[in-house]
Amino acid sequence: MPLASTAVISLTAKLLTPLINDLYKGAKKIGISGFQRWEERSFPRKLARRIQAIDEVKTIWSPEKEASLSSFYYPSTLILDGMPKPATRLADLEGKNAVVEGTVGQGKSMLLRNLAIEEILSNDAKRLPVFIEMRSLSSKLTLQQAIIKQLSSYDIEVDGDTLNYLQRSGRLAYLLDGFDELDESLEKEILYDLEFLSQKFPELLIIVTSRPNNAIQKSAAFRVIPVAPLMHEDYVPFISKLGIAAVQAEQIREAIRNSPSRLASLISTPLMLTMVVIVYQSEHEIPETLPEFFDKLFHVVFTRHDKLKAAYSRKHYSGLSERKLQNLFEAFCFMSMQNGITRSLSIEQFEESFDAAQEYVENCNCESEEFKLDLTKVACLMIEEGLDTTTFLHKSIMEYYAASFIRHSSDEVAAMFYEDIIQDSRHWWEMLSFLREIDAFRYSRDFAIPESRSIRSIYFDGENIRTNKALINILAKCHPELALTLAASDENKQILKIHSFGPFQAEKYCGMRGFAEFLVDSMTRILPDSPTFNSINELLGGLNGKEESGLVVYEIPVSLLITKLGGEHFWEAIDIFLTKADKQAEDALKIIQQQEKRKAIFSRKRGRKMAYLRSHYERSFINQMAAMELKPEGLGMAHTRNNDCNEMYDVNW
């Protein structure tokens, strides 16, 4: 039985009717024929069912079956114009197209789904939402094809004229989830497609979600809207939305507040708080450390359903113990990441990662299908989508347990991993953020400090020479073709506005994350207020325009900006960035030094042992000499023998 009840479908259909009529009449008026099926009286209900499907999701709280988002969703808060504001309607994001930026588990996907549903249920539907998970895009399914596929599911016969009409109508919103989950080879092309749509169809609303430090955030076509972290006062209402009684929700909040664990400071996202609730309900305590937390989580997801049934122990399909299954899962996650998986695995990819994982763990023999059943039916850490795809319930699950694989590896294996990725760690950034917490010493020694030295050496070797030439050389090493592109304003053709930044070279160093944002800010600040064509043309000594997507644009290399307008803003950005980088390197060095100090424990112990041995042997020899009435000249031999014992002890220690 579908989650959406007949009453909900009927209500949604009723609320959609004005939007449907408006689009249909507008299309008919100009001879667009793609909406013929919308004439049917039953059509609003058909469209309502399609849109209500966006409301049905599986979560780590309810992994075994789909739940209605509206039954548990706690509204996200966005930072709009520097102020935190709840976002419940697309109207809250109207204006310039936006990137909703959030870290691991901040609820970006749920927010986007909720915006789609609330747009309809608000009783004032202004836009038809087209929701697309960007991880589904590939060389075989382009962005445009995915859009057409979704519109076709709305019973629209999509041809070029129909699509253009919809995109110009001001009644369409593209809600694109997970730019960071795109295959790296697709990023540049899809970003170009999005910028083209934004320029050609200013009436079209495009909202994209992404983790920080991706190419989409550097586009001038999009404003970046951060998701605000959960605050302590959000805990009780959030937990209550999970269906937990208010009294117990308050108990959990107090347990978090009173916990001496550093883990409490990390509970700032819906995902993390949900997982903490899952663990607390089973263990009745807040784990002390992040590693302990995820270890307990693995145990809890395998046993939480069983605790509802007395004397029942759920069978593991694989026949493996929980510990061996966790070891195999950690290796599987690491191999999946090494194979370039972002979140979903085809049958072939699952087999490849499983076979590789089994090579690196001992005594964990089982069949891949049995292993998959344990993950999808027992632990529910993965879900099956269709007949040929298995997906991690959340991307961070794969990233954490992959990090745990390195944490549990030998020093030699860990050092080889860190050394191998230093020169290009982009694919591993989120996993590295976990390793910074759970493998702090080896992360600091084998990755953070060596990478910091490499960045200094490669990019900022001449930063002490404060000349324009030195600055241009630094930026050329970071982003060789960096430029600022201007275009005429829509309102006043004499006024120029920023059209785009870049191109930016794909960042490979973890420690260079965020530097591009400093450069974007510098390029923005270097321009005079309300620049006109004449003023910029005079300042730079001539502008050469070219036509792009129906606009005349003027591309200005960053080297020309610096030469003509000075590099003050760029040097300020470099200083701020390097100060932050130095602080991170200092923190890593402190961790290493703290670990080195621990060696002193054994040095002191050795010193005390050595002193005891010397005292013991000296007393022994003196007693022997007294008993044998040796002459003083015999003492030299005694000392020699004593030193021999000391040397022997040093070797054996």
What predicted TM-score, i.e. pTM, was given to this entire model? 0.80
- Cα dist from 349 to 309, 323, 338, 369, 532, whole Å: 36, 24, 11, 13, 54
**What contacts 417, CB < 8 A, 6 or more positions away?**
406, 409
Among residues 122, 107, 11, 116, which one has the least CA distance to residue 53?
Answer: 116
In CATH, which of 3.90.1300.10, 3.40.50.300, 3.40.50.720, 3.90.1150.10 is domain 6-226?
3.40.50.300
Instruction: Say how many C-beta atoms besides its own lie within 10 A of residue 86's C-beta.
Output: 12
Name which of 345, 354, 347 is nearest 318 in CA terms: 354
* Confidence band, pLDDT 50/70/90 cuts, at residue 308: very low
| Domain range annotation of the chain | 6-226, 232-308, 410-597, 605-652
Distance CA 504, CA 512 (A): 12
Whether 211 and 104 have beta carbons less than 8 Å apart is answered as: yes
Specify the length of the chain in residues.
Answer: 653
pLDDT per residue as tens digits for the range 263-298: 777 889 999 999 999 999 888 888 888 888 888 888
**pLDDT for the residue 301:** 85
pLDDT at 206 > cutoff 90? yes
pLDDT for 648 beyond 80 = no
Chain centroid to CA 625: 75
Contact 256, 287 (CB under 8 A): no
Report which secondary-structure segment, H or E, holds 392: strand 389-392
Which of 592-601, 604-613, 636-645 shows the lowest per-residue confidence on average (mean pLDDT)?
636-645
Residues 6 or more apart whose Cβ sits within 8 Å of residue 597: none
* Confidence label for 125 from pLDDT (cuts 50, 70 and 90): confident
Q: Please tell me whether the peptide bond between 226 and the residue prior to it is cis, using omega within 30 degrees of 0.
A: no
Q: Please say if the pLDDT value at position 425 is more than 80.
A: yes
Residue with tokens 């382009």: 142
Q: Mean pLDDT across the stretch 355-367?
A: 93
Euclidean distance between CA atoms 109 and 102, whole angstroms: 10
pLDDT tens digits along 245-265: 999 999 999 999 888 777 777
Question: What is the token pair recorded at 438?
Answer: 């759970």
Residue 505, class by beta-carbon neighbours within 10 Å (0-12 exposed, 13-18 middle, 19+ buried)? Answer: middle
Lowest mean pLDDT among 124-128, 145-149, 167-171, 216-220: 124-128
Question: 230-239, 341-350, 457-466, 542-551: lowest mean pLDDT where?
Answer: 542-551
Per-residue pLDDT tens for 53-102? 898 888 888 877 888 898 899 999 999 888 999 888 888 887 789 999 99
The CA-CA-CA angle for residues 108, 339, 503, to 5°, reads 60
Confidence of residue 606 (pLDDT cuts 50, 70, 90): low
DSSP state of 182: S
Q: Does position 419 have pLDDT exceeding 90, yes or no?
A: yes
Q: pLDDT tens-digit profile of 30-48?
A: 988 888 888 777 788 888 8
C-alpha torsion angle, residues 7, 8, 13, 14 (rounded to 10): 70
